[in-house]
Amino acid sequence: MDVAVWLRSLGLGKYEAAFRDNEVDDNVLPNLTAEDLKELGVTALGHRRKLLDAIAALRADESAKTTATAQDSARLPTSTPTVEATDERRQLTVAFIDLVGSTVLGGELDPEDLIRLLGQYREACVAAIGKFEGHVAQYLGDGILAYFGFPQAQEDAADRAVRAGLEIVEKVGRLRQPDGRALQVRVGIATGLVVTRGATGVGTAGEETVVGDTPNLAARLQSRAEPGCVLVGPTTHQLTRDFFEFSFLGEHAIKGFRDPISIWKVLGESTIESRFAAAHAAAAGPIIGRERELKFLYDCWQRATRGDGHVVLVVGEAGMGKSRLLEAVAERVGQEPHRLLRCQCSPYHRNSVLFPFKKPLHHGLALSHDLSSQENLDRIERMLSRFGRQKRSSTLLLAELLDVPSEEKLSPIEMTPNQRKNETLAILEDLLMAPLDGPVLMLLEDAHWSDQTTQTLIERLLKRIGREQALVLITHRPELKTNWSEHPQGTLITCKQIGHEHCAALIRNVANRTQTGRRTDPGDRDAQ
């Protein structure tokens, strides 16, 4: 490719001399960065942006050629592969994202408008993939291939991929073409065993090769998806079915696969607040090795019902049974009058203010996207009036926190940022501690993923809970350092490893439940 001709095609021929004097040829061009362009004298931001978008398109063309070669390799028989020393077998979740109607767009739009729109589309996709710690492997024209669980292993790779897919559909749907029409994408996600060959060149367009059926299945699923939909294969569904709502689309013959493949459409995130409750609701089993802790927590509950509230911190490494212990308390309290609040912190929302309380409050206030904004505002207002908060400002603050639209807004003159924060926290204290259906049992899980404002709210609850009919149980890992247990109404319980005898009993219990009560679903051949 002639770099000078390429520059002139972009209307930037004025930089020909600078590129030529610095020996920027077609081999160097795809690797230029924003800093490189500044050194070449491209001082105008608009010119740098135009050049970077055009360079990204060059990379995409090159990646498409590389991918075609890799896909040809993936179709070769793999019954007896020859694996080099650097090859690695691993389970991987692959997401394939494709822009709907890109060919038509190319014929309708001015090239500059098309480049700008594709840049916005890629930016939205890359941001969502990065948020859930995925890896953009290749740009395939307007398609994007992303890996979850590679190059860094992730125990919840499938979960991350589905969340990223849903966010991509939402974010791209907000983008508009010059005529006002919304952009749409299709997303296909598959999980399976692959062979990874070399991790050199890891980056937004790395050169690593993944060999196996999984990338091919993700691409096939994407091609079958309706605009604005996320489709997943059977393994991805099996790994994530407890955390998302799905619609089974049946078994379909897919080119390149001998047997029909079960396909599932992702409808959205599950309404179950607790990760543990979602994954183990159907088969929790008895509490083993934590009987003494359970007895103490139930004693705390009985005292709370008499107006002597308490906060208990359940601390331990991952997998020590913290969540199971909380579920055991909820089960034991289940037959008594009480108000259960499940609040779940998330690694994906560490910077989202007061995130763990939004879903239970939405549920408690009976808010719904099916209702009008005014109906949701009226429900907030009626609930707050029960606590003597008739001020319009209280309704607007809570509506803002819960993302309920309102035409009326609080101006900075009415409330400073610090006043807004303090008033919002005071409102939440009243809502969370109110014994509406009986004494309050609040389960706050994974506080090591909580934001600073959530931690401030916990400190405020500690100061008032002693006179409330409420028990707050908080789980977190040791890396979270707080002084909550030093408060008179705070107690720390450390969950350590259980003994060999309890381990054996736990294994026997799991094995018995697996044999007698294994769950099945359509398309799950292994479970049938």
What are the pLDDT digits (tens) for 68-114? Answer: 444 444 444 444 344 444 678 888 999 999 999 877 777 777 777 78
For residue 461, name the pLDDT band (cuts at 50, 70, 90).
Answer: very high
| Chain centroid, CA 471 distance in Å | 29
* Structure tokens, 154: 């992730």
DSSP symbol at 468: S
Question: What value does the mean pLDDT take over residues 134-150?
Answer: 89
Domains of the chain: 3-53 (1.10.150.50), 86-269 (3.30.70.1230), 275-497 (3.40.50.300)
Please say whether the beta carbons of 271 and 450 come within 8 A.
no
47-51, 138-142, 162-166: which is most confident: 162-166
Residue 23, phi-psi category: left (phi > 0), alpha (psi -120 to 50), beta (remainder): left
Kindly report the pTM of this predicted structure: 0.63
Single out the residue of 187, 193, 191 nearest to residue 227, CA to CA: 187
List CB contacts of 331: < 8 A, sequence separation 6 or more. 284
Burial class (CB in 10 A: 0-12, 13-18, 19+), 426: middle
205 pLDDT higher than 50: no
Provide the pLDDT confidence category of residue 504 given band limits of 50, 70 and 90: low
Q: To the nearest whole percent, how much of the chain has pLDDT over 90?
A: 43
The dihedral region occupied by 238, where left means phi > 0, alpha psi between -120 and 50, and beta the remainder, is alpha
Q: How far apart are CA 142 and CA 251, in angstroms?
A: 28
Residue 436 is classified by DSSP as S
